[in-house]
A and B are shown apart, each in its own frame.
Chain A
Amino acid sequence: MTDESRPPRENLWLLTAAPFIWLAHLLLSYITGAVWCAKIAGRGGSLGAARAAIAVYTLLALAGLALVGWRAMRRRRPVEPGPAREYDAPGDRDRFLGRTTLLLTGLSALAVVYAALVALFIRSCR
C-alpha cells in the first residue's frame, strides 16, 4: 500500500491551485488597471503600460496553469482492468483528483483568456 502513505494534503491543495491562479490573475489585472487609471493616466488617459502588464500576467498565469495541468495529467493513470472502478482503491482516488484538477485547469484557463481579451480590446481609462 505505497499509495496510502503518499502525503495526502498536497493532493487537495493541487485541486485549488488552478482557480487560485485565475483569481490572482483577475485581481492583479484589476488592481493594475485601477491604480494606473487613478494614479497615473487619469480619467480618459491611455491604458498603455497597464495593458502590457496584463499581457505579462496572462502569460504567467497560462504557464502556471499548464504546469498544474501537466501534474494533474501525470496523476491520471490509466484505468486498471476489472470491475473495481469507482471503488475503494487508491488509484481511483488519484484518478478522481487528477481528472478534477485537470477540468479545473481548463475552466481557469478559459476564464483567464476571457479576462485577457478585455485588455486586448480596451485601450483607455474611460
Chain B
Amino acid sequence: MSEPSPEQVGAEQAARLLKAWETPTGWRYWSAVNNSAVGVWYTASSFFFFLFAGVLALMMRTQLAVPDNDLLSADLYNQAFTVHGSVMMFLFAIPIFEAIAVLLLPQMLGARDLPFPRLSAFGFWCFMLGGIFLCGSIFFDAAPRGGWFMYPPLTSKYQPGIGADMWLLGFSFIEVAAIAAAVELIVGTLKCRPPGMRINLVPLYAWYTLVAAAMVLFAFPPLIAGSMLLEVERAFGWPFFDPAGGGDPLLWQHLFWLFGHPEVYIIFLPSVALVAMMVPTFARRPVVGYDWIVLSAIGTGFLSFGLWVHHMYTTGLPGVSLGLFSAASTAVAIPTGVQLFCFLATILMGRVTRSTPMLFMFGSLAIFVLGGLTGVMVAMAPFDFQAHDSFFVVAHFHYTLFGGAVFPIIAGFYYYYPLVGNKMLSERLGRLAFWLMFIGFNVAFLPMHLTGLRGMPRRVFTYPAAAGLGGLNLVSTIGAFILAAGVAVIVWDLVRPRSREPLAPRNPWDAGTLEWVQEMPGKPWGIRSIPQIDSRYPLWDQPDFLRNIDEGRFYLPDAEEGLRETLVTSVVDARPLFCQRLPGPSFVTPLAALTTGGFFILGTFKLWSLALASLVAALLVFVFWLWTGTARVPEKQEKDVGCGLTLPLYASGSSSIGWWGVFITMLADFTAYVCLVFGYFFFWTVHADFPPAPVQGPGVLWPGLAALLLVGAWSATWLARRWNRRDRGRACHLGLLGGAGLAALGGAALVAGPLATGLDPTSHAYPAIVWLLVIWTAAHVGIGAIMHLYCSARRLAGHMTPRHDADLGNVVLYWHFTVLTALLTVAVIAGFPLLA
C-alpha cells in the first residue's frame, strides 16, 4: 500500500470542506446563514431601498421645481419626505454598513464566517420584513408623515392614523436587527481574527467596524426607549410628552438626538473604512499614519456622543448647555479631519494608479470636505439660529452623507464587486456614472445653501413665486435628475448580463489585504486554510502566502467531522484559543424574524392580543433555536487544527463567544434602561414639585421586598452554577428552580408597588414613568426566570454537564445585569421620592 500523495490528501480535504460549507440549493437556498449569502442579500436589499427612497426624492424635487406646483398634495409630500429620510437612514445607510461588514469582514479576517451566522441571518430577515412593511405603507396612503425625527406633539396628538405607529414599531423592529448585527461584528472583530493578527495588524476596516458597531450599541437604545415611550403615549395615553399631563416634548428630542447624532457617524465611519482599504491598494504602499487613523476612528466615535444638543439649539436651553455642545461639535472636526489627511498623505507618498474606485474616492473627499465646513458653520449656535430648519441644513447634511457615505460605498462597489460577482464592473460605465453623479450632485445641492439662506424652510411642499426661489429650485431639480442618471448607470452596470465576460483575475487590483485571497470564482468556505499573519498587508509582505493557503498548510484545512468550524483567538494578540463549531443552514431564522415581526406589525394595527400571541410564538421559536443550535456538547474534547496545534472544542464563561454576545447585548439593553431612568430625572428637572403633590407611591415596602427577593434569585443563579461545576446535580436544580421561584415573586412584588398605591399611568408623567420602569424590570426578571427553567431542562436532558456549562455561564451574566437593573429601579422609584 502506498501512502496517498499530498495532492490527493489536499483534494480530499478540500472536498470535505466544500461539503461542510455547501450553500443549500433550490428553495432551501433561503435557509442559508453563511455570510457570503446573507451578506449579498443584505447589500442588495439595502441598495434597493436606496433606489426606492431616491425615487421619492425625485418626486419631491419635481414638486419643488416651480413655484405653486400641485403635482404632489401637501399630505403626500409629507409622507414622501418622511419616508425618504427614514428609509435612507434606517433601511439604507445603517443596514448597508452592516451588510458590507457581514459580507467582507470574515474575508478580511481570514475567518470562515462570523461567530453567530444565524444571528446575521435573523437580522437580515427582520430588516427585510420591517423594510417592506414600511416602504409598502406609502402605497396605501398610510405612511408616517411626521418627518424622520418624528417630533411630538405633532406625532403624538395631531396624527391619528397608523403612520406614526408604523414608524415607531417598524423601526424599533429594525433597530433590533441592527443591534444583532453590532453584536456579531464586535465579537467577530475581537475574537475571530487569524492567529498572529495582533491588534496593531488589524485591517483598518475592522477598526472602523468595531467602533461603529460599538456606537450602535449605545446609540440605538435611546431611540428604542424613546420610541417605546411615544408609542405607549399614542396607544395607551400615558402622557410622557404631553405638558398637560406633566410630560415634556423636549424629552423626545433628547432621546432622539442622543441616537440621531451618533447615527451620522455610524454611517460615516464604515464608509470611510472602505476608503482606508482602497487608498493603500491604489497608492501601492501601506497606509500612512495607521495609529492616527485609529485615533480618529475612536476619537470620532466618542466625540459624536457629545453633539446631540446641537440639533436643539433653538429649543431655548440655557446658553451654557449650547456652549458645551458647540465646543464638542467643533472638536469633532479634528479627528474627522485627521484621517482625511492620512489618506491624502498616503496618496501623495505613493504611485497612484487610475481607476473608477479612486475617482469616486476623490469625489467623496471633495464633497465631504464641503459638508464638513458647513458643519462647523452650523455648529456655531448663532449661525444655526439663522440656518435652522432651512434648506441650508438640507444642503449641509446631503454634502456630508453623499461625500461621507454614498460616494465611498459606490467606490466600494466598484472595488469589491469581483469578490461577489467574480467579474469586474465596467471602467467606462463607472467613469460615466461618476461624472454624472458628481456634477448632478453639486448642481442639485450647492444652490440649496443659497435657497436656505434666502429663507426657504425645509419640509414645505411648495412656495410662492413672489419668494424669488424658483430659479434656484429649478436648478436643484435639474441636478437631481442628472444625479439620478448617474445612479441609473451604476444600476445597469450591476445588473447587465455579463455571461460572456471572462472571470476577474484573482486579486485583480493587486491589493495587500487578506480578503483578496479569494479564488475566482469564490468558494463558500471563504478561505481554504486560516493563515498565520505577521503583517498588515500579508499578500504583499508574506512570502508564498497564497500557495500556503491554497495547499491547506495553515489552520483548519479540513472538515473531518463534516462540521463548519472557525478559530477563536485572543483579543489583543490573536493567540488561538479554541475551535468554534458554527451552525449550518436553517429556516429557524426567518421563522424567528416572522414571529418577532408579527408582534410589531400587529401592534401597529392595535391588535394587541394577536401581537402578544405572536410574541409568545417568537419566544418558543427562540427556545427551539437555542436548544437545537447552541452550546452543543462536542463528541470529543479537543481536535488537531493543523500546524501542529490542538485546541479545545468547547468553551464556557468569559472565554466563550456566546458569553461575549450576551455581554454586548446586555450593554445595549442596559443603555436603553438608563435612558428610561434619564426620563425619570428629566421630569424631576421640569417640575417644581416631584413626585407631584397628591400622588403617593409606589412606597418603600413593596419595592424593598422586591429588591430582597431579586437579590435572592440572583444569588441562587450564581450558586446553581457553582453547584453544577461541582457536579451536585440536585443542588443545581434546586438553585435554578428556586431562582425562578424567587424571580417570579420578586417580579410580582415589584408590580405590586405601584398597583397597591393606586398609581394611574394615564394621569401624569410621574406614575407613567414609574410604571414603565417597573414593567421594564419585571419583564427582564420574567425572561430571567425562563432562563432558569431552560438551564434546568438542559441539565436534565444532558446538554449541560459540570464541564459544559456555557448556558449557565451566560444566564449568570444575564442575571448580573438584571439584578443591577432591579436594584437601580428600586433605588429610583422608592428611594428618590424620599430625597426629593
Contact = CB atoms under 8 A, between A and B. Distances in A.
B196 interface: yes
B490 to A, nearest CB: 36
Given A9-B572, A38-B686, A86 B320 contact: no
A118 to B, nearest CB: 3
Given A12-B571, A19-B299, A107-B334, A30 B321 contact: yes
Interface in B199-248: 199-201
Interface string A1-40: 0001000110110011001101100100110011101110
A122 interface: yes
A114 B320 contact: no
Interface string B175-203: 00000000000000000000010111100
A122 B291 contact: no
Contacts of B533: 88
Given A88-B535, A115-B327, A37 B320 contact: yes
B2 interface: no
A29 B334 CA distance: 22
B487 to A, nearest CB: 37
A117 B319 CA distance: 13
Given A12-B199, A114-B327, 20 more contacts: A22-B306, A26-B324, A33-B320, A33-B321, A34-B317, A34-B685, A86-B200, A88-B533, A92-B200, A93-B199, A93-B200, A97-B200, A100-B298, A107-B295, A107-B334, A108-B299, A111-B303, A118-B320, A125-B320, A126-B319
**Which of under 10, 10 to 19, 20 to 34, or 35 or more describes the interface residues of B?**
35 or more
B809 interface: no
Interface string A41-52: 001000100100
Given A93-B199, A107-B299, A122-B323, A100 B535 contact: no
**Which of under 10, 10 to 19, 20 to 34, or 35 or more describes the interface residues of A?**
35 or more
Interface string B314-348: 00011111011111101100110000000000000
Interface in A57-91: 86-88, 90
Contacts of B290: 96
Contacts of B318: 33-34, 37, 43, 125-126
Contacts of A87: 534-535
B449 to A, nearest CB: 26
B799 interface: no
Contact of B320 (A47, A90, A108): A47
A104 B201 CA distance: 19
Contacts of B305: 23
A35 B326 CA distance: 19
A56 interface: no
B536 interface: yes
B286 interface: yes
Nearest to A106: B295
* Most chain A CB within a 10 A radius of its CB, from B286, B294, B326: B294
A88 to B, nearest CB: 4
Nearest to B294: A100
A122 B318 CA distance: 10
B814 to A, nearest CB: 21
B656 interface: no
A115 B309 CA distance: 14
A55 interface: no
A35 B318 CA distance: 11
